[in-house]
């Protein structure tokens, strides 16, 4: 009996820990392609079918560090980025107007809905997001990225490699230009090297993400 209770208690602890854990991409994903930015959301989210408060409500979501309602939604499907310590959450934006953003609220199913902006500065394009967080934390190459991501060039238009990223201890972002980034890499030999790398595909698949700790 004691073993059964202990096992149940352990399971519940693991479940709560999984629910409260950070959501930081580690693998290449096609769930958030064809998106052009992120929106910071609060703990209560109302999703409309159209960018109009008189339109039908598609979903009401309330979330905290320990829970998401409705319970069929998981934080890893709801958020692009979630930092448990600061209760900071970003959702992927697929469309935008002056007062509204359309977001993906379930990346497993592709379900979308419109959120009325409560602050225009909570929306950031991907370029702004990467410039902000990539410069602050550095970058990591996501698992499943093509080998070509490690090729460094003198310019985005160049066809000639100038170097290759091998076993980076650090990838520092200098700036973003379209689908390219100028980065400075400290590799296994500890010699810094600078060049352009391709950080996303033409159809929006991202190969790198800020290395948030």
Q: How many residues does the chain have?
A: 213
Would you give the DSSP letter of residue 134? Answer: I
CB 173 within 8 A of CB 131: yes
**Helix-strand-coil percent breakdown of the chain, rounded to 5?**
20, 40, 40
Q: Where are the domains of the chain?
A: 2-118, 127-210
What's the predicted TM-score (pTM) here?
0.85
pLDDT digits (tens, 9 = 90+) for 73-86: 999 999 999 999 99
Kindly provide the residue ranges of all beta strands, DSSP E only, lying in 22-99, ordered along the sequence: 37-40, 44-48, 57-63, 68-69, 81-83, 88-96
Two tokens at 108? 């497993």
**Does the pLDDT value for residue 16 go beyond 80?**
no
**pLDDT bracket for residue 102 (50, 70, 90):** very high
pLDDT digits (tens, 9 = 90+) for 150-204: 999 999 999 899 999 999 999 999 999 999 999 999 988 888 999 999 999 998 9
């Amino acid at each position: 009996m004691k073993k059964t209770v202990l096992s149940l208690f352990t399971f519940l602890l693991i479940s709560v820990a999984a629910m409260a854990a950070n959501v930081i991409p580690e693998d290449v994903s096609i769930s958030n392609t064809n998106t052009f930015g992120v929106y910071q959301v609060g703990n209560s989210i109302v999703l409309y079918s159209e960018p109009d408060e008189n339109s039908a409500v598609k979903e009401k979501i309330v979330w905290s560090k320990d829970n998401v309602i409705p319970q069929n939604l998981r934080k890893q499907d709801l958020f692009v980025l979630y930092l448990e310590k600061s209760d900071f959450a970003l959702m992927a934006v697929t469309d935008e107007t002056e007062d509204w953003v359309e977001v993906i609220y379930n990346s497993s199913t592709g379900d979308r809905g419109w959120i009325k902006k409560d602050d225009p500065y909570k929306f950031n394009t991907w370029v702004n997001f990467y410039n902000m967080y990539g410069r602050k934390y550095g970058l990591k190459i996501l698992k499943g990225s093509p080998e070509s991501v490690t090729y460094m060039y003198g310019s985005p238009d160049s066809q000639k490699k100038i170097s290759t990223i091998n076993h980076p201890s650090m990838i520092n972002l200098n700036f973003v230009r379209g689908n390219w980034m100028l980065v400075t890499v400290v590799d296994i030999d500890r010699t810094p090297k600078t060049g352009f790398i391709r950080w996303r595909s033409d159809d929006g698949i991202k190969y790198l993400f800020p290395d948030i700790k």
